[in-house]
């Protein structure tokens, strides 16, 4: 299975090849082998292709996650993104994991479900934004340790500018800027503020 094929036909946003390697978590040799067997595509050409990917993905995904869990290989903020209600603002009060459980998808079934792939991509690779967008935003942020909530408004405006500049649909990038902010070490409150700001892009 081809890992990192262009997703939804958008090389600028979805391809794994154009992501910054520094946000990809380091994998052991055995984990890299498992990773190479996973189809991380978010969509497929037809039902048969999707079903084949689902069947082939189950074993390597579970084995990779078990290995990462054993050695605490996933950064804490990415685990909170998945497990913590506060990291998933919305009408329904539940973590991203909890959203699966609300739909009676439990245990290992969560991690083999096709809708988990988008979360797996973040846990392993970081935000789904092209390098130029990330580099520009990082430059604007500067030293994350100096960023406070009062900086969130200008940073949000800059992120909106990048959305327009690169012709991105606001809904997808708002979530990806949130992930990027967490990866950069910005506080949850700042990351949430920037996410809300990007959603308002026109």
6 in a domain, yes or no?
no
- What single DSSP character describes residue 176? H
Q: Is there a contact between 98 and 146 (Cβ–Cβ < 8 Å)?
A: no
**End-to-end Cα spacing for the chain:** 37
- What single DSSP character describes residue 130? -
* CA-closest candidate to residue 51, choices 1, 95, 101: 1
pLDDT in the model for residue 10:
32
- What lies within 8 Å, CB to CB, of 105 at 6+ separation is 113
Q: In this structure, what token pair is assigned to residue 201?
A: 């892009």
d(CA 78, CA 68): 13
Mean pLDDT of the chain: 90
pLDDT at 23 over 70: yes
The radius of gyration computed from the CA coordinates of the chain, to the nearest angstrom, equals: 17
d(CA 38, CA 4): 9
Of 72, 96, 125, the residue at which a domain comes to its end is: 125
Percent of the chain exceeding pLDDT 90 equals 85
pLDDT at 97 over 90: yes
* CA-closest candidate to residue 169, choices 4, 17, 12: 12
Of 125, 143, 158, the residue at which a domain comes to its end is: 125
Q: Please tell me whether residues 116 and 40 are part of one structural domain.
A: yes
Task: Pick the range with the lowest mean pLDDT from 4-13, 15-24, 181-190.
Answer: 4-13
* Residues 170, 81, 3, 106, CA torsion sign: negative
Higher pLDDT, 147 or 18: 147
Of 125, 157, 178, the residue at which a domain comes to its end is: 125
Domains: count for the chain: 2
Give the number of other Cβ atoms within 10 Å of residue 61's Cβ: 23
Q: Please tell me whether residues 140 and 115 are part of one structural domain.
A: no
pTM of the shown model: 0.88
Alpha-helix runs per DSSP H in 114-151: 117-125, 131-141
> 20: domain range?
11-125
pLDDT in the model for residue 6:
29
Q: Please tell me whether residues 85 and 170 are part of one structural domain.
A: no
Banded model confidence at residue 11, pLDDT cuts 50, 70, 90: very low
Q: Please tell me whether residues 58 and 118 are part of one structural domain.
A: yes
Banded model confidence at residue 2, pLDDT cuts 50, 70, 90: very low
Q: In this structure, what token pair is assigned to residue 2?
A: 């081809």
1 in a domain, yes or no?
no
């Amino acid at each position: 299975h081809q890992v990192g094929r262009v997703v939804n036909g958008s090389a600028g946003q979805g391809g794994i090849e154009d992501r910054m390697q520094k946000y990809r978590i380091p994998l052991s040799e055995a984990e890299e082998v498992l990773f190479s067997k996973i189809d991380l595509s978010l969509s497929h050409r037809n039902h048969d292709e999707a079903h084949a990917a689902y069947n082939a993905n189950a074993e390597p995904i579970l084995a990779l996650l078990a290995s990462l869990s054993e050695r605490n290989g996933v950064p804490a903020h990415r685990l909170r993104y998945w497990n913590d209600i506060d990291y998933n603002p919305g009408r329904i009060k539940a973590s991203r994991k909890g959203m699966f459980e609300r739909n009676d998808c439990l245990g290992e079934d969560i991690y083999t479900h096709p809708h988990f792939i988008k979360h797996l991509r973040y846990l392993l690779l970081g935000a789904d934004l092209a390098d130029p967008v990330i580099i520009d935003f990082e430059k604007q942020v500067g030293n994350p340790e100096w960023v406070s909530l009062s900086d969130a408004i200008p940073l949000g405006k800059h992120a909106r500018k990048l959305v327009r500049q690169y012709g991105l649909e606001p809904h997808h990038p708002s979530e990806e800027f949130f992930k990027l902010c967490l990866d950069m070490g910005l506080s949850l409150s700042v990351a949430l503020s920037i996410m809300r700001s990007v959603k308002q892009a026109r």
